[in-house]
Amino acid sequence: MAKITLKGNPIHTVGELPQKGSKAPDFLLTTGELADVALKDYAGKKKILNIVPSLDTGTCAASAKRFNEAAAKLQDTVILTISNDLPFAQARFCSAEGIDNVITLSQLRNRDFGKAYGVEIVDGPIAGLLSRAVVVLDADDRVVYTQQVPEVGEEPDYDKAIAAVQ
């Protein structure tokens, strides 16, 4: 269980991020086109999992925009922004913000991702949402970098995440 904060108040996640060097847990998430996808659907690509509570917040929006800019310059890499937001809301956000280089994925039909990756918040006012975290996977789905952002309102370390796929 990771201890993080929301506006300085302690909250907890269901577990810890996957260990560096471990095989990433599989997932089943939903795209903006309402198709279900799994980790294997991104086989052979490096992956940055940008995990956020909701794209409807300033910090989450900022991280999606920043990773969108980075994605345009990365080769053989896919950036997946994952939240509990409905696919319709994710699509609306991306359209309004001009985000077209990252893939948004929702826990619409399956909530196992948050548990498998240790990022589901279990207490406090945003219990049930995902914590802010980054997990970077190599082309073989091995974890090469993780960051559990300690304060939900802070942005992740973009430079370290991007460096992990270069």
* 147-159 core/surface letters (b: 16 or more CB in 10 A; e: else): bbbeebeeebebe
Catalytic residue flag (residue 94): no
**143-148 sheet: strands from edge to edge:** 36-38, 28-30, 103-106, 77-83, 46-51, 133-137, 143-148
Phi-psi region of 34 (alpha: psi -120 to 50; beta: other; left: phi over 0): left
DSSP H/E element including 94: helix 87-97
Q: In degrees rounded to 5, what are phi and psi of residue 60?
A: -65, -40
Give me the residues paired with residue 151 across strands: 5
Active-site annotation holder among 29, 60, 80, 152:
60
d(CA 93, CA 118): 26
- Residue numbers annotated as active site: 60
